[in-house]
Structure 1
Amino acid sequence: MQLTLKKILPHLLVFVGFVILSLAYFSPVLQGKQILQSDILQYNGMAKQQRDFKANTGEEAYWTNSAFGGMPTYQLGARYPHTYIKNLDLGLRFLPRPADYLFLYFVGFYILLLCLKVDYKLAALGSLAFGFSTYLIIILGVGHNSKAHAIAYMPLVLSGIVLTFRKKYILGFIVTAIAMGLELVANHFQMTYYLMLLVIVLGIVYLIDAYKKKVLPHFFKSVGILFTAVILAIGLNAANIMATQEYAKESTRSKTELTINPDGSPKKDISSGLAKEKITEYSYGYLETFNLFIPRFLGGGMGEDLGKESAFYEFYRSQGVPPLDAAEAAKSVPTYWGNQPIVEAPAYVGAVVLFLFVFALFLVKGRLKWWLVAGSILALLLSYGKNLGFLTDFFINFVPLYDKFRAVTSIQVLLELCIPVLAIFGLVRLFNDYEKDEDKFKALKFSAIITTGLCLLFLLLRYTGIVLDFEGIRDTGWSQGGGQPFVDAIVADRKSIFTKDTLRTLLLVLLSAGAIYMFLKQKLSEGKVIIVFAALILFDLVGVDRRYVNTENFVSSREVQRPFQANNADKKILSESGHFRVYDVSSGTGRAISQKVNAMATGSTSAPYFHNTINGYHAAKLKRFDELSNFFPFTRHPEMLNMFNVKYIISEDENKQPYPFLNTDANGNAWFVDNITEVNSADEEMLSLLDLNTKKTAVVDRSSIETYETVSQAVPNKAITQFNHVVDSLASIKVLEYQPNYIKYESNNLNNGYAVFSEMYYANGWNAYIDNEITNYNRVNYLLRGMEMPKGKHTIEFKFEPQVVKTGGSIALTSSILLGLIVLGGLFFQFKKKNE
């Protein structure tokens, strides 16, 4: 018992240390404050309706009408039945957000290094290098929570893989299944996809190593075990994965049926995923590579706080701007001079960590080194995107699913993971007795020459003006707006912070090299070297992190949980009875309850907080809605507003205040049409909307009639039988009940008719019933619902009943039971083996 406690105690102390560090960095959470994240603010606007529905009914709606005319909530935080792995995840994230994610960074990386047989002290050191990596902190600042969530579990997945290849088959299987289950819970499939690419690199290296060592049976046995564990992990998250896969076919991530652009020109690239321009919009520049080593090599972010010592401040003062106003302006200087559209901060790995990485390149040998190096190189090359077009094009065209994800720079998370691992192994090799001192001195010499040489070279280039011109793509626009002296001040600040950060990196490299040199000269003990490097890493990374994410990012919890308040326009609309949509073309910032929220708010996210709208903000909206809004911008094509039943348009009046303008031409919730026009393609269907009178005519794509997904297996999907109708003046359809997942109408018509509903068509879940009998319906007007209606008085119901959720929930339950039995069996086996 005492021996076991002695083994566990150091790890418990490390975990306690991680808790303290996580809370210390995000200390305002101890005062009950919450971090104000732009992406989460937008999410809160989009998700309010589904949250309110669940609070009132205790049920998940799985559909929201508050944005884009309606969409599934699968990517808006929907909870699925029997996802018990989610409960485990919530238990691990017991700290207040975002300290919980920082804690997960630390713990996951610590476990990975322990599985790689690293001493706990060095494992803790490596966790600091990984957890405080600038990119990982920045994404917490802006609210990329699901991305941070997925990244945090990456090391844990690798831990299970490492254990399996170390012939700890049972433990490796269990760890991999649970870790992969947690990875998928994070619901950021782009990060999981990048992890898969890294695992493939690892597998190739391990396969080559197994071939050389003639242990191929062990390799394939391990792969089989790991494959089974991943399948089980997928089962644990079956509902989420299946729903996402189903929705992806209808979202902007899917292949379009259109062959023309909004201007009428033919589409050049019709891929099965996102357009290449969208995928590579954020592409890393070659020079930006050195941001990994020197934090503001390319100027840092789009809004650097440079203070009163900056040329920017002096320029404002020279223009007669008061000191306080000039100081406020100097808090957000656009110093970034790369080519990406938006950069919040540099993806800084750390001068100390990169020095140790280079040091390890000369000292570490074997398969570990090669999969870490290969993974890092692959990530870096793919992050260049359109700047390395041949490689990017190859992956888009030939690597499955690669074209489903945008922002290729995100793959640098693999760098953030691989570099610290190898860096720590540099110290492992430094401290062991297997390496010759001669080799250690040689590694130190070469790594010091390379890293210090780079710093000196950049300082030389800075003063000669070769390669580094410090001019950005936006400078021309700024010179037109603020004059050349304005741009000159920015360029001067770019040069200044470049010099400061390069000298800073040079100093940290020299101190790191000095610590290793002192150890080799037996002037410092191993423990003291670890302490020195812990201090250097914390000073280095936390110092840069604090520039971008600090206590100023926190506000009262109320500002985060209830960020918006209704303005006069909202109040007037909310006082109206009935069910209709709103289109907000105002800024939307007037709804914010504080200046900080106001700076992040937009009408796209604040309007859905109060109303059913065609506004919204989401990276994967329904494809057909996105296409329609691109072809027919709503401000120029009021007929699109009419068919969506947009009753109010919020704009600004003569006093620049938001005002709800009444749209008297809105079609209503549903209406009977005189005739139906058939066309032969999606192109024709879209173009026909240009002059379509949606109150009298509906358009249907004949080519898709037979491919409509059947609403129910019990009802065949029939084509439209009658195309012309007599619409009596007394014919009507009125709404009796309206919920996110349920709409009830009453129809009254003397003749057979065809009804169009102002609701988004989505066959994968929306079932239609006439007088309690399930009935087929069609997609009309490119994205609305249409239905043949028998004469007389009838009740019509639309129910959102996604079968995928039920099926996925059953699979998740079965998988959870199976995993539980395997864990118990594994524990019993290990206990029995230990006793024997």
Structure 2
Amino acid sequence: MKQNWLKAILPHLAAIGIFLFLAFAYCSPVLEGKVVNQGDMKNVQGMAKEAKDFYEATGERPLWTNSMFSGMPSYVIYTGPGANKIAYVNNHVVSLYTPAPVNMLFLAMLCMYILLCVLDFKYWIRIMGAIAFAFCSYNVIIIDVGHITKMYDIALMPAVMAGIILTYRGRLLTGATLTALATAMLVYNNHLQIIYYTLIMVLCLAVGAFVHALKDKQIPQFFKASALLVVAGILAILPSMDSLLILREYTDYTMRGSQSELTLDKDDINQKKSTGLDIDYAYDWSYGKAESGTFLIPGYVGNSSGQRLSSKSNFGQQMVSLGVPEAQVEQFLGQQKLPLYYGAQSKGTSGPVYVGAIICFLFVLSMLLVRSWLKWWLVAISAIGFILAWGKNLAFINDFLFYHLPLYNKFRAPAQALVIPSFAFVVLACYALQEVVNGQYSKEQLLAALKKSLYITAGTIVGFIVIANMIGFTSASDSTMLQYFAQMMGGEENGKLLIRALEKDRSSLLLKDSFRSAIFILIAAAAIWAFIQGKLKWQPAILIITAAVAIDLIAVDKNYLNDESFVDDMTYMQELQPTEADQQIKQDPDPYYRVFNVTTSPFDDASPSYWHKNIGGYSPAKLWIYQDLITHQIAKNNMKVLNMLNTKYFIVPGAKGQPMAQRNPDAYGNAWFVKDIVWAPDANSEMKTLDYLNTRDSAVIDKRFQAQVGNFKPGADSSASIKLTKYGLNKLEYASHNSQDGLAVFSEIYYPAGWEATVDGKPADIIRTDYALRAIKVPAGDHKIEMKFEPKTYFKGLKIAGISSITLIILVLAMIAYEIFRFIKTQKN
């Protein structure tokens, strides 16, 4: 039995070894202790710094942060260790405690390998598919920029599908357990857009399984499996209730889940509204229909929006011909990235979605050979993925989906939907190879299919070249670059010459990469032909294809995530080092004031939040009321609004371009008493009133909140004051003095889902004031005011998450023990 056990387990251990080797080899700088220099992760560092420091100092979960947008819930940033024990499985166990980004590439290969095992493909086909899936260019690009949770969820998609397919094939308990565990990790990582796409794939799979069961007269078995999968899904969701419940509540107040109350823009009243994002904003990064050719040809639309060229390029040679010394050209091109990208994404791109020329060729072959019902599921989700990815470039379909498909209007960047066909193409490629080697087709049939696939793929390459030449090689960025080149080279005519040279480089890249894809396709076709003709056994033929796929994809990937992407810890943190302006401001002993850094893009950069309580920041889920304040007041530099936000310091460009701190003596402080209330009939009037209102002496309140105020008339004597006496993220304490009944306005962002106030321990209403701030009625005299942030939904979710995650882990361990027992029993028999 021991020999049989080793024979069964060793191939899987070898596969794990291969995956670890490839992941470490690709990310070899991690062996020197280096990390990926991820731009978006620096935003994460900035936005989470205050919350992490608070947790380390107090041990209390930070549920609110003042480090971004003048204050917001920290649910989407950092709340300390969660109650979900699946986190440990996700972050350590399944990736064998490997460092980032080795863990993500390894997990992607492992999960695809599991799916291909469930589909019972031959060993080296599984290895090939796992490598192809993990090293799709999109995956390494998002690792490079720091979209970590997205990559984790992409990696887990195949494991979710494996569990579902296993369940529908009759392995009910094992399949449901795998589904529950993989889905629990998927939900834990919480990249909602990838989860949404996974759900689309699951629903399509369920429809396909139903049709297949109907044909085979297995409907009872289908419903039994489906019921078990629903239970597995519920078990998977419950461990993440500590984040899901509170995020659901929070979303109702954000750009992602609600609409602004304002209709101040002239088109707002007439334009179609959704309860999610604005459609133009959501459709940023819509993939072009023709741009989908990057699946087959990596440089089809010029790779990325910024890449380095050599002095031998058309652009470099044009600079030389205009009189620039070659050494100077090399220096310029070594420092300046140029936009070779000329695709449809108006915001640019970090790189193409390239699944591999061989994978595309095998996809075509699968269309001719594969008979499994799963083929049509994979084809269907591929079509859906492309349609969704095209976004505004297929508006007549996607506009309808945006307004009518449940939850779809919560997401932006439609190009992300290409993760669906990227997954499907790889599985179908593996199906093609399986059909070639399983002996179900005659030699003549296989040769005919191989020939047709070559013709179709070659014709597609030629077609893409023709389309590109018809469309041209101009880019949306060329007008901006023309001005830059004209200024650099001393005239518009010289600038135009450089633009034309850039277009030639784009054309050259297309031809070079088209030829490159053709070579790899021929290698794969030759290996398959040699097998069909009996000149190679299937193992070496698949090995050749596997090696070619790995070489092809990794060579492209190295344009994006390479050794230069890795830095040591000191270099990584260098960009987060304080400037002289930061150090000057930090000398202020005041525990709580705000800073507005205008030396960066203030509402797309969270790095200032690393050091300060920030007026700006970066978050895909800003509160709507604050976005309105940005659009209609802060962007117009309304100083009275900035003063009411307690903007004590501005960071501005100094004489030599270095950041310089400027103190604002007019900031109102943490709270103040006003002498008058201006009633606004609606939100529009409330916002317009802020255009001219002296917010130091008066407060504007929407009449909707009049019931909370009643007939109250605020007053404030000359000695009236209210001071912050204790600062915390979840609790603020103030001491007030006023001989009259007063209305205290706080420089705190209004958020009704969790903030509660007391005056001398007695509950007090928090009133929305000045569109985005909080106010409280305070009786005459001296009082202690407290504000606490205690969202009941969050604490309810913690209890559910803790109990259910432990339960799920116990079930998984029990199923593993059952499978081991079952395996041993099988070996004995």
TM range (shorter): over 0.9
Match of 1:809 in 2: 798
Match of 1:538 in 2: 550
**Contact preservation (8 Å) 2:523, 2:545:** no
AA of the residue aligned to 2:666: D
Question: Structure 2 CA distance, aligned partners of 1:132 and 1:821?
Answer: 33
**Contact preservation (8 Å) 2:576, 2:607:** yes
Question: Structure 2 CA distance, aligned partners of 1:321 and 1:102?
Answer: 44
Match of 1:490 in 2: 502
Question: Structure 2 CA distance, aligned partners of 1:314 and 1:480?
Answer: 20
Deviation sequence 1:257-285 (CA, Å, 0-9, x none): 42414468635132100011011121111
Among 332, 352, 359, which residue is 1:353 paired with? 359
Question: Structure 1 CA distance, aligned partners of 2:721 and 2:72?
Answer: 27
**Contact preservation (8 Å) 1:363, 1:443:** yes
User: Does residue 86 of structure 2 align to residue 85 of structure 1?
Assistant: yes
Deviation sequence 1:431-466 (CA, Å, 0-9, x none): 10222333222211110110112234445667xx4x
Question: Structure 2 CA distance, aligned partners of 1:58 and 1:769?
Answer: 24
Measure how far apart 1:635 and its partner are: 5.2
Alignment of 1:434-473 (within 5 A): 434-459=440-465, 465=469, 467-473=470-476
Q: For 1:307, what is the secondary structure of its paired residue?
A: coil
User: Does residue 276 of structure 2 align to residue 273 of structure 1?
Assistant: yes
Measure how far apart 1:534 and its partner are: 1.3
Among 549, 574, 582, which residue is 2:595 paired with? 582
Match of 2:330 in 1: 327
Question: Structure 2 CA distance, aligned partners of 1:150 and 1:827?
Answer: 23
Measure how far apart 1:670 and its partner are: 0.2
AA of the residue aligned to 1:584: N
**Contact preservation (8 Å) 2:339, 2:477:** no
Deviation sequence 1:193-223 (CA, Å, 0-9, x none): 0110111111111111111222111111111
Measure how far apart 1:623 and its partner are: 1.4
Deviation sequence 1:561-581 (CA, Å, 0-9, x none): 564222221122111121211
**Contact preservation (8 Å) 1:150, 1:191:** yes
Question: Structure 2 CA distance, aligned partners of 1:153 and 1:468?
Answer: 38
User: Does residue 704 of structure 2 align to residue 699 of structure 1?
Assistant: no
Alignment of 1:201-600 (within 5 A): 201-262=204-265, 266=269, 268-331=271-334, 332-340=337-345, 341-459=347-465, 465=469, 467-482=470-485, 483-561=495-573, 563-578=575-590, 579-587=592-600
**Contact preservation (8 Å) 2:603, 2:618:** no
Match of 2:784 in 1: 795
Match of 2:811 in 1: 822
AA of the residue aligned to 1:783: A
Distance 1:196 1:264, change over 3 A: closer
Distance 1:734 1:494, change over 3 A: same
Among 709, 718, 725, which residue is 1:736 paired with? 725
Moved more, 249-258 or 538-547: 249-258
**Contact preservation (8 Å) 1:262, 1:630:** no
Match of 2:168 in 1: 165
**Contact preservation (8 Å) 2:64, 2:71:** yes
Match of 1:675 in 2: 676
AA of the residue aligned to 1:434: Q
Match of 1:141 in 2: 144
Q: For 2:475, what is the secondary structure of its paired residue?
A: coil
AA of the residue aligned to 2:355: V
**Contact preservation (8 Å) 1:122, 1:424:** yes
User: Does residue 776 of structure 2 align to residue 776 of structure 1?
Assistant: no
Deviation sequence 1:571-622 (CA, Å, 0-9, x none): 221111212111111138xxxxxxxxxxxx9993221111111110111111
Question: Structure 1 CA distance, aligned partners of 2:747 and 2:270?
Answer: 29
Gaps of 5+ in 1: 589-600, 706-717
Q: For 1:253, what is the secondary structure of its paired residue?
A: coil
Question: Structure 1 CA distance, aligned partners of 2:200 and 2:308?
Answer: 37
Measure how far apart 1:761 and its partner are: 1.1
Deviation sequence 1:414-439 (CA, Å, 0-9, x none): 11111100101111111102223332
Deviation sequence 1:74-94 (CA, Å, 0-9, x none): 111434542101011122342
AA of the residue aligned to 1:363: L
AA of the residue aligned to 1:546: K
**Contact preservation (8 Å) 2:593, 2:613:** yes
Distance 1:137 1:828, change over 3 A: closer
Measure how far apart 1:55 and its partner are: 2.1
Gaps of 5+ in 2: 486-494
Measure how far apart 1:796 and its partner are: 1.1
Question: Structure 2 CA distance, aligned partners of 1:359 and 1:380?
Answer: 20
Match of 2:643 in 1: 642
Distance 1:174 1:457, change over 3 A: closer
Q: For 1:61, what is the secondary structure of its paired residue?
A: coil
Alignment of 1:620-631 (within 5 A): 620-631=621-632
**Contact preservation (8 Å) 1:677, 1:723:** no
Distance 1:750 1:402, change over 3 A: same
Alignment of 1:648-667 (within 5 A): 648-667=649-668
**Contact preservation (8 Å) 1:11, 1:120:** no
Question: Structure 2 CA distance, aligned partners of 1:686 and 1:446?
Answer: 65
**Contact preservation (8 Å) 1:634, 1:640:** no
Moved more, 825-834 or 426-435: 825-834
Q: For 1:690, what is the secondary structure of its paired residue?
A: coil
Match of 2:193 in 1: 190
Question: Structure 1 CA distance, aligned partners of 2:669 and 2:524?
Answer: 70
Question: Structure 1 CA distance, aligned partners of 2:704 and 2:325?
Answer: 67
AA of the residue aligned to 1:135: Y
Among 693, 704, 710, which residue is 1:721 paired with? 710
Question: Structure 2 CA distance, aligned partners of 1:213 and 1:829?
Answer: 30
Q: For 2:99, what is the secondary structure of its paired residue?
A: coil
Aligned residues: 809
Distance 1:289 1:81, change over 3 A: closer
**Contact preservation (8 Å) 1:80, 1:239:** no
Match of 1:74 in 2: 75
**Contact preservation (8 Å) 2:304, 2:351:** yes
Deviation sequence 1:762-809 (CA, Å, 0-9, x none): 122222122233332111111111101112111111122222221001
Match of 1:598 in 2: none
Among 130, 133, 146, which residue is 1:130 paired with? 133
Query: Please, what TM-score do these two structures have when normalized by structure 2?
Result: 0.94
Q: For 1:95, what is the secondary structure of its paired residue?
A: coil
**Contact preservation (8 Å) 1:766, 1:799:** yes
**Contact preservation (8 Å) 2:341, 2:348:** no
Distance 1:761 1:831, change over 3 A: same
Query: Please, what TM-score do these two structures have when normalized by structure 1?
Result: 0.93
Question: Structure 2 CA distance, aligned partners of 1:28 and 1:166?
Answer: 43
Distance 1:267 1:552, change over 3 A: farther
Distance 1:105 1:787, change over 3 A: same
Deviation sequence 1:721-748 (CA, Å, 0-9, x none): 3442221111110111112222111111
Q: For 1:769, what is the secondary structure of its paired residue?
A: strand
Question: Structure 2 CA distance, aligned partners of 1:666 and 1:557?
Answer: 38
**Contact preservation (8 Å) 2:298, 2:354:** yes
**Contact preservation (8 Å) 1:184, 1:237:** yes
Measure how far apart 1:477 and its partner are: 3.2
